[in-house]
Chain A
Amino acid sequence: MDCYTANWNPLGDSAFYRKYELYSMDWDLKEELRDCLVAAAPYGGPIALLRNPWRKEKAASVRPVLEIYSASGLPLASLLWKSGTVVSLGWSAEEELLCVQEDGGVLVYGLHGDFRRHFSMGNEVLQNRILDARIFHTEFGSGVAILTGAHRFILSANVSDLKLRRMPEVPGLQGAPTCWTALCQDRVAHILLAVGPDLYLLDQSACSAVTPFGLAPGVSSFLQMAVSFTYRHLALFTDTGYIWMGTASLKEKLCEFNCNIRAPPKQMVWCSRPRSKERAVVVAWERRLMVVGDAPESIQYKQLTIQVLLDRLVLRRLYPLAIQICEYLRLPEVQGVSRILAHWACYKVQQKDVSDEDVARAINQKLGDTPGVSYSDIAARAYGCGRTELAIKLLEYEPRSGEQVPLLLKMKRSKLALSKAIESGDTDLVFTVLLHLKNELNRGDFFMTLRNQPMALSLYRQFCKHQELETLKDLYNQDDNHQELGSFHIRASYAAEERIEGRVAALQTAADAFYKAKNEFAAKATEDQMRLLRLQRRLEDELGGRFLDLSLHDTVTTLILGGHNKRAEQLARDFRIPDKRLWWLKLTALADLEDWEELEKFSKSKKSPIGYLPFVEICMKQHNKYEAKKYASRVGPEQKVKALLLVGDVAQAADVAIEHRNEAELSLVLSHCTGATDGATADKIQRARAQAQKK
Chain B
Amino acid sequence: MAAHLSYGRVNLNVLREAVRRELREFLDKCAGSKAIVWDEYLTGPFGLIAQYSLLKEHEVEKMFTLKGSRLPAADVKNIIFFVRPRLELMDIIAENVLSEDKRGPARDFHILFVPRRSLLCEQRLKDLGVLGSFIHREEYSLDLIPFDGDLLSMESEGAFKECYLESDQTSLYHAAKGLMTLQALYGTIPQIFGKGECARQVANMMIRMKREFTGSQNSIFPVFDNLLLLDRNVDLLTPLATQLTYEGLIDEIYGIQNSYVKLPPEKFVPKKQGDGGKDLPTEAKKLQLNSAEELYAEIRDKNFNAVGSVLSKKAKVISAAFEERHNAKTVGEIKQFVSQLPHMQAARGSLANHTSIAELIKDVTTSEDFFDKLTVEQEFMSGIDTDKVNSYIEDCIAQKHPLIKVLRLVCLQSVCNSGLKQKVLDYYKKEILQTYGYEHILTLYNLEKAGLLKPQTGGRNNYPTIRKTLRLWMDDVNEQNPTDISYVYSGYAPLSVRLAQLLSRPGWRSIEEVLRILPGPHFEERQPLPTGLQKKRQPGENRVTLIFFLGGVTFAEIAALRFLSQLEDGGTEYVIATTKLMNGASWIESLMEKPF
Q: Which residues of chain B are near A454, meaning CB under 8 Å? A: 167
Q: A549, B167: Cβ atoms under 8 Å?
A: no
Q: How far is the CB of B565 from chain A (nearest CB, A)?
A: 31
Q: A427 CA to B170 CA in the complex, in Å?
A: 6
Residue B399 contacts which of A458, A487, A490, A584 (CB distance < 8 angstroms)? A584
Give Cα distance in the complex from A610 to B396, angstroms. 13
Do residues A427 and B435 form an inter-chain contact, with CB atoms below 8 A? no
Nearest-neighbour CB distance to chain B for A481, whole angstroms, equals 12
Q: Name the interface residues of B141-172: CB closer than 8 Å to any CB of A.
A: 166-170, 172
Chain A: CB-nearest residue to B85: A428
Task: Give the docked Cα–Cα distance between A76 and B430 (Å).
Answer: 86
> For chain B residues 392-448, which have a beta carbon within 8 Å of chain A?
394-395, 397-400, 426, 429-431, 433-439, 441-442, 445
Q: Are A577 and B434 in contact (CB under 8 A)?
A: yes
Pick from A427, A429, A529: contact of B438, CB under 8 Å:
A529
Q: A425-B176, A466-B88, A552-B434 known; A490 and B167 CB under 8 Å?
A: no
Q: Which of B172, B208, B434, B595 contacts A490 (CB 8 A)?
A: B595
Within 8 Å CB of B516, what residues of A?
Answer: none
Tell me, rounded to whole Å, the shortest Cβ–Cβ distance linking B213 to chain A: 9
| B282 on interface, CB distance cutoff 8 Å | no
Partner of B441, one of A372, A427, A490, A549: A490
Q: Are the CB atoms of A578 and B120 closer together than 8 Å?
A: no
* Least distance between A355 CB and chain B CB atoms (Å): 28
Given known pairs A490-B441, A525-B441, the reply for A427 and B169 (CB within 8 Å) is yes
Q: Which of B88, B117, B173, B436 contacts A427 (CB 8 A)?
A: B173
For the complex, is B73 an interface residue (Cβ under 8 Å from A)?
Answer: no
Q: How far is the CA of A467 from the CA of B88 in the complex (A)?
A: 9
Tell me if A59 counts as interface (CB < 8 A to partner B).
no
User: Would B168 and A372 count as touching, CB distance under 8 A?
Assistant: no
**Interface status of B6 (Cβ within 8 A of chain A):** no
In the complex, the answer to whether A551 meets B119 with C-beta atoms within 8 Å is: no
Pairwise interchain contact B595-A525, C-beta atoms closer than 8 A: no
Partner of A425, one of B119, B173, B426: B173
* Cα(A526)–Cα(B429), bound, Å: 13
Give the number of residue pairs across the A-B interface with Cβ within 8 Å. Answer: 130
Q: Is A648 an interface residue (CB 8 A)?
A: no
- CB atoms of A462 and B123 under 8 A apart: no
Q: Which residues of B contact A549 (CB under 8 A)?
A: 437, 439, 596
Contact at B399–A399, with CB atoms within 8 Å? no
CB of B438 to closest CB in A, whole Å = 4
A431 contacts the other chain (CB 8 A):
yes
Chain A: interface size category: 35 or more
Q: What are 20 A-to-B residue pairs whose CB atoms are below 8 Å?
A: A205-B106, A370-B215, A371-B216, A399-B212, A401-B212, A425-B173, A458-B167, A459-B167, A466-B88, A483-B445, A495-B596, A521-B426, A526-B438, A549-B596, A553-B436, A581-B397, A581-B431, A584-B399, A588-B399, A610-B395
Interchain CA distance A426-B201 in the complex, whole Å: 12
A371 to B214, CA, bound (A): 6
Residues of A within 8 A of B117 (CB): 428
User: Does A580 interact with chain B (Cβ within 8 Å)?
Assistant: yes
Is A29 part of the contact surface with B, judged by Cβ < 8 Å? no
CA distance A491 to B596 in the complex (A): 9
Assess the A581–B123 pair: CB atoms within 8 A.
no
**A532 touches which of B123, B166, B211, B438 (Cβ 8 Å):** B438
Query: What separation, in Å, do the CA atoms of A553 and B399 have in the docked complex?
Result: 10
Determine whether the beta carbon of A491 is less than 8 Å from that of B442: yes
B48 CB-CB contact with A under 8 Å: no
Asked whether any CB of chain B lies closer than 8 Å to the CB of A522, the reply is yes
Is B435 in contact with A553, judged by CB distance below 8 angstroms? yes
Q: Check: A334 CB closer than 8 A to any chain B CB.
A: yes
Contacts of A181-223 to chain B: CB distance below 8 A: 205
- Map CB proximity to A onto B197-224 as digits: 1 under 8 Å, 0 otherwise: 0000100110010011011110000000
Contact of A580 (CB < 8 Å), options: B123, B394, B438, B595 = B394
| Contact with A458, one of B168, B212, B216 (Cβ below 8 angstroms) | B168
| B-chain residues with CB within 8 Å of residue A425 when the two chains form the complex | 169, 172-173, 176, 201, 204-205, 208
Complex Cα distance A525/B437, Å?
11
Indicate if the CB atoms of A428 and B116 lie closer than 8 Å.
yes
Given A458-B166, A462-B168: A551 and B426 interface contact (C-beta under 8 Å): no
Assuming A458-B166, A459-B168, is B119 touching A431 (CB within 8 A)?
yes
Contact A584 B168 (CB under 8 A): no
Distance to closest chain B CB from A246 (angstroms)? 28
Q: A495-B595, A525-B441 are in contact. Are A584 and B214 (CB under 8 A)?
A: no
A509–chain B nearest beta-carbon distance, Å: 15
Listed residue (B216, B217, B433, B438) with the most chain A CB atoms within 10 angstroms of its CB: B438
- Shortest Cβ gap from B96 to chain A (Å): 20
Contacts of B435 in A (CB 8 A): 551-553, 581
Q: Return chain B residues, CB-CB under 8 Å to A522.
A: 441, 445
Measured CA separation A483–B448 after assembly (Å): 12
Q: Is A494 interfacial (CB-CB < 8 Å)? A: yes
Chain B: which residue is nearest A467 at the CB level? B87
Chain B nearest CB, measured from A560 CB (Å)? 14
Interface: A528 (CB within 8 A): yes
Choose one: A369, A401, A458, A553; the contact of B434 (CB below 8 Å).
A553
Name A582's closest neighbour in chain B (CB-CB): B398
Residues of B within 8 A of A (CB): 85, 87-88, 106, 116-120, 123, 166-170, 172-173, 176, 201, 204-205, 208, 211-212, 214-217, 394-395, 397-400, 426, 429-431, 433-439, 441-442, 445, 595-596
- Determine the chain B residues whose CB is within 8 A of the CB of A467 once the complex forms: 87
User: Which residue from chain B places its CB closest to the CB of A423 in the assembled complex?
Assistant: B208
Q: Which residues of B contact A432 (CB under 8 A)?
A: 119-120, 123
Residues in A neighbouring B215, C-beta threshold 8 A: 333-334, 370-372
Q: Which residues in chain A, 468-527, are within 8 Å of chain B measured between CB atoms?
A: 483, 487, 490-491, 494-495, 521-522, 525-526
List 6 additional A-B contacts (Cβ < 8 Å) besides A578-B431, A581-B435: A426-B173, A428-B85, A522-B441, A549-B437, A553-B400, A581-B394
The complex places the Cα of A428 from the Cα of B124 at a distance, in Å, of 13
Which A residues are CB-close (under 8 A) to B166?
458, 461-462
Q: Once the chains bind, are B439 and A575 in contact (CB under 8 Å)?
A: no
CA of A557 to CA of B235, assembled, Å: 39
Q: Does A435 touch B at the CB level, under 8 Å?
A: yes
CA distance A585 to B394 in the complex (A): 13
A228-244 contacts to B, CB under 8 A, are none
Note all chain B residues with C-beta closer than 8 A to A580: 394-395, 398
On chain B, the residues within 8 Å of A494 by CB distance are 439, 595-596
Bound: A230/B212 CA distance, A: 40
**Is B170 a contact partner of A585 (Cβ separation < 8 A)?**
no
- Quick check: A581 and B398 within 8 Å, CB to CB? yes
Q: Check if A608 is an interface residue, CB within 8 A of chain B.
A: no
Check A490–B168 contact: CB distance below 8 A.
no
Contacts of B118 on A, CB cut-off 8 Å?
Answer: 428, 431
Question: Using an 8 Å CB-CB cutoff, how does the interface string of A162-198 with B read, 1 for contact, 0 for none?
Answer: 0000000000000000000000000000000000000
**CA of A466 to CA of B429, assembled, Å:** 28
Which residue among A205, A334, A462, A550 has the maximum number of chain B CB atoms within 10 Å of its CB?
A: A462
- Across the A-B interface, the 3 shortest Cβ-Cβ residue pairs: A371-B215, A458-B167, A584-B398
Residues on B with beta carbons closer than 8 Å to the beta carbon of A401: 212
Which residue in chain A gives the minimum CB-CB distance to B171? A427
The smallest C-beta distance from A523 to any residue of chain B, in angstroms, reads: 11
Q: A424 and B208: CB pair below 8 A?
A: yes
Asked whether A584 and B596 contact (CB < 8 A) given A458-B167, A551-B436, the answer is no
- Bound form: Cα–Cα A432–B118 in Å: 9
How far is A525 from B217 in the complex, measured between Cα atoms in Å?
60
Q: Say whether A63 faces chain B, with CB atoms less than 8 Å apart.
A: no
Contact with B along A541-555 (1 / 0, CB 8 A): 000000001111110
CB distance from B366 to the nearest CB of A (A): 11
A551 to chain B, nearest CB (A): 4
* List of A residues within 8 angstroms of B438 by Cβ: 525-526, 528-529, 532, 551
Task: Kindly state the separation between the CA atoms of A401 and B445 in the bound complex, as whole angstroms.
Answer: 36
Chain B residues, CB < 8 A from A584: 395, 398-399
Question: In the complex, what's the smallest C-beta–C-beta distance from A239 to chain B, in angstroms?
Answer: 39
